[in-house]
Amino acid sequence: MKFDEFDGQSSKAWKQRIQFELEGADFNENLVWKSLEGIDVRPFYHSDSKTDITPINPQSDQWKIGEYVYVQNVKFAQKKAIECISKGAESIYFVIPKSSITLSELLKDIDVSKISIYLELQFLDSSFIDQINALNFSGDTHVYIISDCIGHLTKSGNWYENMATDKKQTQHYCASASGVKSVLAVDMAHYQNAGAGMVQQLAYGLAHANEYLHDFEPFIPEQMVFKIAVGGNYFFEIAKLQAIRWLWESLTKEHGLDIKCHIITEPSKRNKTVYGYNTNMLRTTTEIMSAALGSSNTIINLPYDALYHKDNEFGRRISRNQLLILKHESKFGEITNPTKGTYYIEYLTKQLAEKALKLFKDIEKQGGFLKQLKSGVIQKKIKEQAQKEQHTYDTQVQELVGIHVQQNTEDKMKPNLELYPFVKNNPRKTLIAPIIARRIAEPIEKERLENE
């Protein structure tokens, strides 16, 4: 029997049937719930609820498996990158802390026509661009510079040097770098890890990017990289990734520009735990699934023990294998337009996009993202949302396994801590109040560690 042989039912008919089954109970009170984003989630969605927002997919339907490599020692980092590639990584995200790193040595033996390379520069130095240009990257290579002076400001509270110098250096990057796909990036992941809601993440990410569009035209490269953290709200996170593509396309059209949206996703740290750490594998699995279905370009997984263990091969292998299994065995790498025709996700995408656009416009009316950072408005709004979310866990409306439920009181984690898993207090003079990333489980974990 074919599907088209069944009689279709209107959403009104479905609701009437549900109302009958409820035996007089109120439909909205019993079956409609309101998310922290202020979105009413209904128990079913129908074709007559289809929206005018259609999924926007990246240029390639194939997302890539990525891995972080921190470059303290060039030879060691290069060796580690080659090893990651041999075990299935398709892109390497190098975190480069200083301009003295020799790029030609770092990228030696890596085929940049097949392997995507991200170079996160944790400094501003115009001479470093000379190193990049000397490598003569062509249009066939996939090299991205991850430079985000505004992101540095939000995290540290200070510019690298000062606003004028930072903008001048970044503008030089944009104007001078050749053969790379992108020079600018927007770190939206930090807003999520600090407790911002999805609407805030989208609006702040868009306003953050808009500062670059205003300041660096006509030197904006062909792509803008958005680094996004994905949490545990499965369908909402898929919609969030779709929403940023739609919002970015709308914004660039308004500017008369054609700049592609390139998305790097990673699991959020906000819902990860030190106690019951194996549960982190389950959390990251659903999160990288959201990342794949939301049409990411590159997905970098978070090792289950990243909060308290130093970088280690076992944690890396597990996180890499999660992506390999998802892409090749579960066939998530073969999906084209995965959200097309899913009325629920399309509805969520529209709701998130419209709410974020409204907030974005309000930010612009108030003078823009940097002005609101300087006045502390952005920090205040994120803190309020984070406290609101924290309250839902403190009152166990929401729960973390191993923390609020199924807690193993015999667990002893203090001997296993190789890294300090909490926010470090480092008082210093800053231009603005920095946005602080904080995990939900921190208060309970601190208390348990003190009592071990």
Q: pLDDT, tens digit, for every residue of 374-430?
A: 999 999 999 999 999 999 999 989 999 999 999 988 889 999 999 999 988 778 899
In which domain, by residue range, is 120 found?
64-345
Query: Comparing 123-132, 263-272, 337-346, which segment has the lowest mean pLDDT?
Result: 337-346
Contact (CB, 8 A) for 62 and 25: no
Q: What is the pLDDT of residue 361?
A: 98
Q: Answer whether residue 138 is part of any domain.
A: yes
Contact (CB, 8 A) for 301 and 322: yes
Task: Kindly state the average pLDDT of the residues 313-341.
Answer: 89
The angle, 0 to 180 degrees and rounded to 10, between the axes of the packed helices 279-293 and 234-255 is 40
Total domain count for the chain? 1
Q: What is the pLDDT of residue 1?
A: 52
| HSE (side-chain half, CA atoms, 13 Å) at 360 | 24
Burial class (CB within 10 angstroms; exposed 0-12, middle 13-18, buried 19+) of 200: buried
Q: What is the pLDDT of residue 111?
A: 93
Query: Closest Cα partner for 190 from 234, 221, 144, 226?
Result: 226
Query: Comparing 139-153, 216-230, 402-416, which segment has the lowest mean pLDDT?
Result: 216-230
What is the share, in percent, of the chain residues with pLDDT greater than 70? 96
Q: Answer whether residue 152 is part of any domain.
A: yes
Q: Answer whether residue 367 is part of any domain.
A: no
Q: Answer whether residue 308 is part of any domain.
A: yes
Query: Closest Cα partner for 191 from 225, 146, 230?
Result: 230
Q: What is the pLDDT of residue 108?
A: 92
Q: What is the CATH number of the domain that holds 283?
A: 3.20.20.240
Q: Answer whether residue 439 is part of any domain.
A: no
Query: Closest Cα partner for 120 from 182, 62, 58, 209?
Result: 182
DSSP state of 424: P
pTM, rounded to two decimals: 0.94
Q: What are phi and psi of 145, to 5 degrees?
A: -90, 130
Q: Answer whether residue 381 is part of any domain.
A: no
Q: Rounded to an integer, what distance in angstroms lies between the CA atom of residue 10 and that of residue 225? A: 42
Collapsing DSSP states into helix, strand and coil, what is residue 93?
A: strand
Q: Answer whether residue 58 is part of any domain.
A: no
- Sequential DSSP letters for 307-366: TTS-S-HHHHHHHHHHHHIIIIIS-GGG-SSTTTT-HHHHHHHHHHHHHHHHHHHHHHHT
Residue 8 predicted with pLDDT over 80:
no
Q: Token digits for 385?
A: 């949302």
Task: Kindly state the average pLDDT of the residues 193-201.
Answer: 98
Contact (CB, 8 A) for 105 and 93: no
Q: Answer whether residue 86 is part of any domain.
A: yes
230-260: b or e for each residue (b if 16 or more CB lie within 10 Å)? Answer: bbbbebbbbbbbbbbbbbbeebbeeeeeebb
Q: What is the pLDDT of residue 391?
A: 95
